[in-house]
Structure 1
Amino acid sequence: MSNTQTTSSPYKAESNPQQSVSGPLRTEDWWAVWIGLGIIVVAYLLFASGTSIKWLAVAPAKWASIGQASSDLVQHLPNYIALFVLFAILFGIAAAALGQRATQFLPGFLAVFVLSTLIFVAGAWVNSSTYNLEPPLIALALGLVVSNLVTLPAWLVPALRVEFYIKVGIVLLGATLPFTLLVWAGPVAIGQATIVSLITFFVIFLAARALGLDKRFAAVLGVGGAVCGVSAAIAIAGAVRAKREQASVAITLVVVWAIVMVFALPFASRSFGLPTGVAGAWIGTSEFADAAGIAAAQAYGDLARHAGNAIAGAPEASLQAFTLMKVVGRDIWIGIWAFVLAIVATTRWDRGEAGAVKTETTAKEIWTRFPKFVIGFLIASALVTWIGSHYSLAQYRSVVTPAFVAPITALRTWAFTFCFLSIGLTTRLGRLSATGAKPFLAFTAGVVVNVVIGYLLSVHVFSAYWSSLGQ
């Protein structure tokens, strides 16, 4: 995370794509893999020995009065302290390995943890679903209000590591998404993602060029809208050697539209009466950032959980469909677009430019740009599939889920909440005014196409697949 509140992007801490060559202990992606898989392995070893990490994976109970909420907090205070210590050690070690002093990270993380706990408590109110006060949306809204009304203290900013928290959460998410589901729905997700990625890119790219924007800038905007928002904008900016300020503008547009979609897509999905799996696929096709999309998908799943039969589908299906669409389907296009556009830039765009330096483009670019945390996600999914193969479906639901999967799900939710809160606390809405009208218009054209195509594919073309998730 950036060390000041005035940086051009709230996602500044995301690793430069080129850093992946520095080894598995020097990037956020790999540390997310080690932390996520480490938690899953320890959870399994305890489960296999007859115990569980359930005591550690604490979450507030439902409450109807402030007295009930306070009593539950006091009763489980040792659990919360132990959980903070665990996260502080794991994230602190990773931060130190990534070049940040633990003494800079820990004070801010304590504040993030306390605020996240209060957000969890607010989300446990018995009437929270009535007013759409789900923890992801509370975290995001609270952070936005605070960051746009006051200046954050310098000691808090180093702990607002948006990308790191979401990557850890995605690896943990793999433990709740069996590999058999990836095999079954993965081809559908990749096919749908391919359609969206190609169409959205060319709409934004051609609109930007028609408005007179530089082709490198148009490429950064196009991939930022077509694939994975911030990660894509950073990767493509490096691949085509775009200007730093062009990447910053693209990131700002991604963040602003991602936040809009966090609130708009769950509301629209509920208005249309979409099943959880279908809504998750639409969100995964239409959102521009993993963190924001997960917030929207999880919020819709929580709505379904509290709405009884008003929303069809299993609550977890919303997050599962989003993950298949966004993490498995769209995110893999980062490396593909970086590879293709690097070739185009070096063989065509650089030609004739004064001082142009020809750079070698090989298949290694795909690995360089590939989001490594996806590997952890797939390993986690395969591990849980192997564990589940030793049980019948009834045993899995009655034994494995409550003692092994449910605690990991709770820890995943904590990591996501850290991320959502960090997004809000690092997003300054005033940055949008500095982007200019032309980039905004070009990107917005892609937004419209993204949402419409995502709806048609999710609700009509592939609805049978998405509606069946979680059943």
Structure 2
Amino acid sequence: MSTINNKEEQSKNPFSSLIRKEDWWAVWLGIILIIGALIGGISSPVLPERWGREGSFDLLTSISQENILGIIMTGIVAWVVFSLSVYFFKKDQFKKFVLSFPIMYLLSMVAYTIGNYNPLRHYGFNNVIWALVIGLIISNVFGTPQFLKNVMRTELYIKTGLVLLGASILFNRVLSLGALGLGVAWFVTPVVIIVMYWFSQKVLKMKKERNMAITLVSALSVCGVSAAIATGSAAKAKKQEISLAISISLIFTILMMIIMPFLIRLMGLSPAVGGAWIGGTVDATGAVVAASTMLGDEAMEVASVIKMIQNVLIGIVAFIIATIWASVYEKQEGEKRKVSIKEIWIRMPKFILGFIGASLIFSFLIPEATVSDKLPIINGYRQLFFTLAFVSIGLESNFKDMAKLVKGGKPLKLYLVGQSLNVVLTLIAAMIFFSGRFFPLPF
């Protein structure tokens, strides 16, 4: 009965998802903050400052009496905007979120303070990396307390930050980077999916586990958790199979986001090539941002654009899988399922629209002087939201719990072989399209 009522409610109000879906709220919060910055409603966020210059250990300069009030006010702004969104898309958790968010903000400020220690920051250990470390320590040593679970909104934080990132990337650069990025994201990804699904069926003999196999292959080749959920649902995989794919993806995402920046520096790759490599191989969007940040702004720009191009494939891949499974496998099993073209729209991450919209507005509608004046405000909040996201990722990642699901065997072999293929092919594509030898770069 409740399912029928929900369907009737959606048919009466087709726009309800615009205020009841977390994905859309990332767009709305980005718009609210951008408008607030443009009209002077919000000022630059005040965050812990750099310290430890020239061998001194002047920690008090990071959080001083002069900036402590500003840090508190910055937290209040973040508290208000995220609480507003939770009120609409998760009203039953609103009170718990409001009460718990200050602790999450405090943890992010600790990460900022440690990450702003210059001797370590010089080697890439910035606030985002420390945010992940703090979350992992709490989760794996003490166990994540319930009050922190109430504010672990990783997707909301990172997607809102990515909408704000659009304001920093001029649209002509999005188009030029996107054109090159198609060669990395839209060529390698389908090849990996096709080859590794064949590998799962013909080599690993996972015919009875084909739903889980396509879910895991999509997660490693497209975008981790989001792709696993979308394609797993399209293939009608069991919840346990989707959970297994997500767990394997999360474990290797954390490892790759830490290892790859150091490997790229060791190999002497350029920031553009390194960013393209990270953008096409690291599973989660947030992890892509964190890893590429260690290589500089140019690498982060390339990696983010490539990952968003790859994200567009989530809906397309889910639609194709749903079509094949309905017309081939389920037909063989006597089931019939109607597949609609709406699947592409439903599965496509909506924050991409916000990113493109912000880029268009700041590229063509806002005077250059205003852009220069307001971008520091927007970028400051973007960095804060990324830090909040990575505290959340760390808090969500308990290695013991994930290890219970990852028992080795065929799924683990499938992921390791698939990700190895993905890493090699993406590196080749990154060097072809972003080395500057074959195609001009927009830098």
TM-score by length of 2: 0.90
1:258–1:287 CA contact under 8 A, matched in 2: yes
Q: How much does 1:387 deviate?
A: 4.2
Partner of 1:39: 33
User: Which residue, out of 56, 60, 72, partners 2:48?
Assistant: 60
Is 1:169 paired with 2:158?
no
- Residues 286-332 of structure 1 show CA distances to partners (whole Å, capped at 9, x for unaligned) of 1111011111011221xxxxxxxxxxxxxx211110111101x2101
Aligned residue type for 1:337? V
CA distance, structure 1, for counterparts of residue 438 and residue 135 of structure 2: 32
CA distance, structure 1, for counterparts of residue 62 and residue 238 of structure 2: 54
Local SS of the residue matching 2:147: coil
CA distance, structure 1, for counterparts of residue 403 and residue 348 of structure 2: 29
Is 1:77 paired with 2:58?
no
Aligned residue type for 1:61? E
Is 1:300 paired with 2:272?
no
Q: How much does 1:71 deviate?
A: 6.3
CA distance, structure 2, for counterparts of residue 147 and residue 286 of structure 1: 26
- Residues 38-82 of structure 1 show CA distances to partners (whole Å, capped at 9, x for unaligned) of 111221222xxxxx844x412322212554435643211121111
Q: How much does 1:404 deviate?
A: 1.0
Is 1:365 paired with 2:343?
yes
Partner of 1:415: 385
Is 1:231 paired with 2:226?
yes
1:317–1:469 CA contact under 8 A, matched in 2: no
CA distance, structure 1, for counterparts of residue 374 and residue 438 of structure 2: 26
Q: How much does 1:453 deviate?
A: 1.2
CA distance, structure 1, for counterparts of residue 317 and residue 439 of structure 2: 30
Unaligned runs of 5+ in 1: 1-19, 47-51, 302-315
Partner of 1:96: 87
User: Which residue, out of 264, 278, 286, partners 2:281?
Assistant: 286
The alignment's C-alpha RMSD in Å is: 2.1
Partner of 2:125: 133
Aligned residue type for 2:114? A
Partner of 1:265: 260
Is 1:251 paired with 2:246?
yes
Local SS of the residue matching 2:166: helix
Higher-helix-fraction structure? 2
2:154–2:390 CA contact under 8 A, matched in 1: yes
Aligned residue type for 1:325? I
1:277–1:468 CA contact under 8 A, matched in 2: no
Aligned residue type for 1:419? A
CA distance, structure 1, for counterparts of residue 62 and residue 389 of structure 2: 27
Aligned residue type for 1:85? I
Local SS of the residue matching 2:436: helix
Q: How much does 1:435 deviate?
A: 2.3
Q: How does 1:139-218 map to 2 (within 5 A)?
A: 139-209=131-201, 210-213=203-206, 214-218=209-213
| Bigger shift: residues 206-215 or 371-380 | 206-215
Q: How much does 1:250 deviate?
A: 0.6
Aligned residue type for 2:415? F
User: Which residue, out of 333, 346, 370, partners 2:313?
Assistant: 333
1:135–1:299 CA contact under 8 A, matched in 2: no
Unaligned runs of 5+ in 2: 1-13
Partner of 1:275: 270
Partner of 2:5: none
| Bigger shift: residues 176-185 or 371-380 | 176-185
1:36–1:376 CA contact under 8 A, matched in 2: yes
CA distance, structure 2, for counterparts of residue 268 and residue 416 of structure 1: 23
Local SS of the residue matching 1:62: coil
Q: How does 1:109-124 map to 2 (within 5 A)?
A: 109-124=101-116
2:38–2:374 CA contact under 8 A, matched in 1: yes
TM-score by length of 1: 0.85
Figure out how many residues of one structure are paired with residues of the other and give that number: 421
1:21–1:368 CA contact under 8 A, matched in 2: no
1:321–1:469 CA contact under 8 A, matched in 2: no
Partner of 1:458: 430
Aligned residue type for 1:286? T
Is 1:347 paired with 2:338?
no
Q: How does 1:3-18 map to 2 (within 5 A)?
A: none
CA distance, structure 1, for counterparts of residue 148 and residue 327 of structure 2: 45
Is 1:400 paired with 2:374?
no
CA distance, structure 1, for counterparts of residue 264 and residue 331 of structure 2: 47
Local SS of the residue matching 1:63: coil
Using the aligned pairs only, state the percent identity. 30
1:205–1:219 CA contact under 8 A, matched in 2: yes
CA distance, structure 1, for counterparts of residue 394 and residue 437 of structure 2: 33
User: Which residue, out of 364, 386, 398, partners 2:364?
Assistant: 386
CA distance, structure 1, for counterparts of residue 42 and residue 86 of structure 2: 24
CA distance, structure 1, for counterparts of residue 21 and residue 242 of structure 2: 20
